[in-house]
A and B are shown apart, each in its own frame.
Chain A
Amino acid sequence: MDQGLKPSPHDYRGHPRTIIQEYYGMLECWIQGGCFYEHLPEDLAGQHWTPTDTKPNKQHSFVRAFLERVLQESKTDEKDMLFKYVSLGEKSSKKKKSIKKRTKLLTASEKKQLNLFKLQPDDINYALYLPLHELWKDYMRDLLCLEKVTSKNQSEAERRFMKSDLHGSFVTVIKSKCPSLIGLSGIVLQETKHTFKIITKSNQLKTLPKRGTIFSISLDDYIFTIYGSNFMFRASDRASRSFKVKLVTDLS
């Protein structure tokens, strides 16, 4: 705080003690009733009347209790109060923590409205995505190191495969609850929680549901089989997820 703005002890305005004194004086003034009340009737005026000693004491204790209650909340010593303003009516407001403002992102519905995930008609061309597929193959070879995979460390490779990114892979539906999906194959362009979006060799975009479908992905000499019903996670969630071993009894 700037030193110059600190009130000096000689400045009586707003000084707590001064305020208390003022209150006190005012209350006394009311009690004496000099200026607030009418004069007593004459028959009473002659009587000997003295104010009881208890009354001023009562008022005194009330004021003290009131001030103590109000000032207690501000937790200030009497010494500090000499140099500070303490407002009696309002509670001292705590400083709010400053929250960092995030940069505002588009919501899912806004993204949908803007057609951000839709391909332009010119981009629906299977040949365009072949480089992506080659890129994915290289990525998977690096990730899985298929030459080093033996029967012992196969499960580890499987785990790595589960967490891998499948954009650009060539998937084929080998089993499905919907007969017309069987045999569809293409390069994965987008993976959502519940679907794969693929482009087929005949330049068609297809959305394959994961539920109730079994996919196969081949890489070099290996064929991976994915049970879609147990694979319903977003690609980003899958990377950090630990999978449990589940028995597959039926497509559901």
Chain B
Amino acid sequence: MNIGNKSVPRSKYVFECSWFTDKSEKHERCINKHTFNHHIDLLLPETETIPDEILSELSDQLYYLVSGVSPSWLLNAEFIEVFVRKGHLILNVTKKTYLELGLVGTVSKYYNKHKDKYVVIIALLSDEFKEGTKFRKRVEWCLEKWKWLFTFFITWQPHDPAVCSSSISSYMTTKWAVTCHDCCIKASSHVYRYLEAPLVTHKNTEETDAACGFVKYFEWLGAANEQLKCNGSADSYVNTYSCPTPHTILNHCLNISLKGFFTTDSISVIVNSLRNKLCHSSGKIPWVAMTVHGFQDSPVSWGQQEHGYFDSGDNFYSIVLFPDDGVWIYKGLSFLDLLS
């Protein structure tokens, strides 16, 4: 299908159905692989107020806007020792820069045809990158000669619960002499009244007379998260979408939208608190949905793999929890992105 000679962005969608208590912990793995999270949407049926656990988790979360950081500072041995437990330095560079950079990389998947972009990956904790090795000296020399200064969003997840996550900002201000701007998570909520919602159960993934399939459900979820009107009437904006059948009417439905920079740990906390809420609701709540969007233009997404922004930029996952401990996971990726 072509529209005006421009092909439609290609995307991949992956659906998984599992159990919360399953040994494979698919939802945990999904959360941990997706590290750069920008936007969280929660949809809680039969709820009017934001759960306290989520509020307390979010109030602690801070992320920092730091400008004027040279990438070579990130290679500092002290910095790596204190703040990095696992990680890579990934540079996405244009061809012009790559020819002068001096570090070996590979051609980007998305620019394979013209070889215009290259990806350089440096494993910070590998043996060859230890203090005093030839490779380390080479990398330092290559990065220092550029006098690059970047602006970063930085957030840090302490390895030790006793350490405060704000210690990274004090380190940066003292050692690097840069200014850190504290950024808070922006939260907004909206309560739906008498919302038409599709009937779904964990078992029925395909569409039947008794329940909606996952395809129609996730389509509706996207509309509900964005607070679109789904009554089927055409208004000033042409939108004739209506809630798929069979559907029920929810008396209240709380929609929370969070924007910022989230660590995987805080997302796990949110998921666990949602599950607790579901367990204590005694069957009143049919399901709870959480959708996490990554940064669309992020150079990496799933499992530190390269992400194609200009292909579609899809970079999200949705987790739906059911009262019987069932979990639906729905992942969206750009066409050439890989999950692992």
Whether the Cβ atoms of A179 and B141 lie closer than 8 Å is: no
Whether the Cβ atoms of B104 and A175 lie closer than 8 Å is: no
Closest to B105 in A: A179
Whether the Cβ atoms of B99 and A183 lie closer than 8 Å is: no
Closest to B104 in A: A179
Residues on B with C-beta less than 8 A from A176 are 99
CB distance from B334 to the nearest CB of A (A): 27
Of the candidates B98, B99, B100, B104, which one forms a contact with A180 in the assembled complex, judged by CB atoms under 8 Å apart? B104
CB distance from B106 to the nearest CB of A (A): 11
Whether the Cβ atoms of A177 and B102 lie closer than 8 Å is: no
Whether the Cβ atoms of A182 and B100 lie closer than 8 Å is: yes
Residues on A with C-beta less than 8 A from B98 are 179
Secondary structure dominating the interface of B: helix
Closest to A178 in B: B104
Residues on B with C-beta less than 8 A from A144 are none
Q: Say whether A29 faces chain B, with CB atoms less than 8 Å apart.
A: no
In the bound complex, what is the Cα–Cα distance between A76 and B37 (angstroms)?
109
In the bound complex, what is the Cα–Cα distance between A175 and B101 (angstroms)?
8
* Residues 128-181 of A at the B interface (beta carbon under 8 Å): 174-177, 179-180
In the bound complex, what is the Cα–Cα distance between A175 and B142 (angstroms)?
12
Whether the Cβ atoms of B101 and A182 lie closer than 8 Å is: yes
Q: Say whether B103 faces chain A, with CB atoms less than 8 Å apart.
A: yes
Q: In the complex, how many residues of chain A place their beta carbon closer than 8 angstroms to a beta carbon of chain B?
A: 9
Closest to B99 in A: A175
In the bound complex, what is the Cα–Cα distance between A179 and B99 (angstroms)?
7
Q: Say whether A251 faces chain B, with CB atoms less than 8 Å apart.
A: yes
Write out, one digit per residue, whether chain B residues 183-200 have a CB within 8 A of any chain A CB (1) or not (0). Answer: 000000000000000000
CB distance from A183 to the nearest CB of B (A): 6
CB distance from A195 to the nearest CB of B (A): 19
In the bound complex, what is the Cα–Cα distance between A180 and B103 (angstroms)?
7
In the bound complex, what is the Cα–Cα distance between A251 and B100 (angstroms)?
11
In the bound complex, what is the Cα–Cα distance between A174 and B102 (angstroms)?
9
**Contacts A176-B99, A177-B99: A183 and B104 contacting too (C-beta < 8 A)?**
no
Write out, one digit per residue, whether chain B residues 103-126 have a CB within 8 A of any chain A CB (1) or not (0). Answer: 111000000000000000000000
In the bound complex, what is the Cα–Cα distance between A126 and B104 (angstroms)?
28
Residues on A with C-beta less than 8 A from B103 are 179
In the bound complex, what is the Cα–Cα distance between A120 and B163 (angstroms)?
61
Residues on B with C-beta less than 8 A from A180 are 102, 104
Closest to A181 in B: B102
In the bound complex, what is the Cα–Cα distance between A176 and B100 (angstroms)?
7
In the bound complex, what is the Cα–Cα distance between A252 and B147 (angstroms)?
27
In the bound complex, what is the Cα–Cα distance between A175 and B99 (angstroms)?
5
In the bound complex, what is the Cα–Cα distance between A247 and B300 (angstroms)?
36
Closest to A184 in B: B102
Write out, one digit per residue, whether chain B residues 72-111 have a CB within 8 A of any chain A CB (1) or not (0). Answer: 0000000000000000000000000011111111000000
In the bound complex, what is the Cα–Cα distance between A177 and B99 (angstroms)?
6
In the bound complex, what is the Cα–Cα distance between A16 and B253 (angstroms)?
135
Residues on A with C-beta less than 8 A from B141 are 183
In the bound complex, what is the Cα–Cα distance between A251 and B98 (angstroms)?
12
In the bound complex, what is the Cα–Cα distance between A176 and B101 (angstroms)?
9
Whether the Cβ atoms of B100 and A174 lie closer than 8 Å is: yes
Whether the Cβ atoms of A251 and B99 lie closer than 8 Å is: yes
In the bound complex, what is the Cα–Cα distance between A51 and B105 (angstroms)?
108
Residues on B with C-beta less than 8 A from A179 are 98, 101-105
In the bound complex, what is the Cα–Cα distance between A108 and B98 (angstroms)?
37
In the bound complex, what is the Cα–Cα distance between A180 and B99 (angstroms)?
10
* Residues 206-252 of A at the B interface (beta carbon under 8 Å): 251
Residues on B with C-beta less than 8 A from A177 are 99
CB distance from B90 to the nearest CB of A (A): 16
In the bound complex, what is the Cα–Cα distance between A183 and B142 (angstroms)?
9
Could you write out 13 A-B pairs with CB less than 8 Å apart? A174-B100, A175-B99, A176-B99, A179-B102, A180-B102, A182-B99, A182-B100, A182-B101, A182-B142, A183-B102, A183-B141, A183-B142, A251-B99
Considering the complex of A and B, which 7 residue pairs feature the smallest CB-CB distances, nearest first? A182-B102, A175-B99, A179-B104, A175-B100, A179-B102, A183-B102, A179-B103
A-B contact sample (13 more), CB < 8 A, given A179-B102, A179-B104: A174-B100, A175-B99, A175-B100, A176-B99, A179-B98, A179-B103, A179-B105, A182-B101, A182-B102, A183-B102, A183-B141, A183-B142, A251-B99
